[in-house]
Copies of this chain bind each other. A is one copy, B any other.
Amino acid sequence: MKATIITIGDEILIGQIIDSNSAWMGKELNKIGVSVYEIISIGDDKDHILSAFAKAEQQSDIVLVTGGLGPTKDDITKTTICDYFDDTLVQNKDVLEHIRAMFAKYVKDAIVPANEMQSMVPSKALILNNAYGTAPGMWIEKNDTIFIYMPGVPFEMKALMTNEVLPRLRKTEGLPYIYHRTILTAGQGESTIATRIEQWEDNLPVTVKLAYLPSLGSVRLRLSSTGMNKDEVIKKVDENVSALYQLIQDIIIGESNDESMAQQVAGLLKKAGLTLAVAESCTGGQIAQQLTEHAGASAFFMGASVTYATQSKIDVLDVDPEVIKRYTVVSEQVAMAMATGAREKFHADIAVSTTGNAGPSKGDSDADVGTVFIGIATATNCFAIKFMMGNHRERVIQKTVNKSFELLQKEIFKLQTN
User: Which residue numbers of A lie inside 8 Å of B, CB to CB?
Assistant: 10-20, 22-28, 30, 35-44, 48, 70-74, 107, 109-110, 112-115, 132, 153, 155, 180, 188-192, 194-195, 201, 209-214, 222, 224, 258, 278, 280, 284-289, 291-293, 295, 297-298, 301-309, 311-312, 315-316, 345-347, 358-361, 363-364, 392-395, 397
Contacts and interface: CB of A to CB of B under 8 A. Distances in A.
- With most chain B CB atoms within 10 A of its CB, the pick from A41, A286, A393 is A41
Given A27-B14, A35-B13, A308 B315 contact: no
Contacts of A346: 309, 312, 315-316
Given A10-B211, A72-B191, A109-B188, A345 B306 contact: no
Nearest to A112: B195
Contact of A37 (B13, B22, B224, B297): B13
Contact of A18 (B20, B73, B112, B309): B20
Given A284-B289, A284-B291, A305-B305, A14 B30 contact: yes
A288 B212 CA distance: 34
A207 B12 CA distance: 20
B73 A201 contact: yes
A222 B295 contact: no
Given A212-B72, A285-B286, A306-B303, A312 B222 contact: no
A72 B201 CA distance: 11
Given A12-B39, A13-B39, A289-B285, A107 B189 contact: yes
Contact of A345 (B109, B192, B312, B364): B312
Give 4 closest A-B pairs by Cβ, nearest first.
A284-B292, A285-B288, A15-B27, A15-B26
Contacts of A153: 214
Contacts of A305: 303-306, 316
Given A191-B112, A286-B285, A306-B285, A16 B298 contact: no
26 contacts: A14-B26, A15-B28, A16-B213, A18-B18, A22-B41, A38-B40, A39-B40, A72-B212, A73-B201, A109-B188, A112-B194, A153-B214, A284-B297, A285-B285, A285-B287, A295-B361, A298-B363, A298-B364, A301-B309, A302-B308, A303-B305, A303-B309, A304-B308, A312-B345, A316-B316, A316-B345
A315 B316 CA distance: 10
Nearest to A154: B394
Nearest to A41: B39
A150 to B, nearest CB: 16
B347 A315 contact: yes
Contacts of A395: 155
B303 A298 contact: no
A56 to B, nearest CB: 11
Nearest to A287: B285
A23 B19 contact: yes
A74 B42 contact: no
A158 B13 CA distance: 17
Contacts of A11: 211, 213, 222
Nearest to A221: B72
A16 B222 contact: yes
Nearest to A202: B73
B284 A288 contact: yes
A334 B57 CA distance: 56
A199 to B, nearest CB: 12
Contacts of A280: 285, 288
A145 to B, nearest CB: 18
A71 B211 contact: no
A307 B298 CA distance: 11
Given A14-B30, A17-B23, 5 more contacts: A17-B213, A40-B40, A112-B194, A280-B288, A298-B364
- With most chain B CB atoms within 10 A of its CB, the pick from A17, A304, A308, A363 is A308
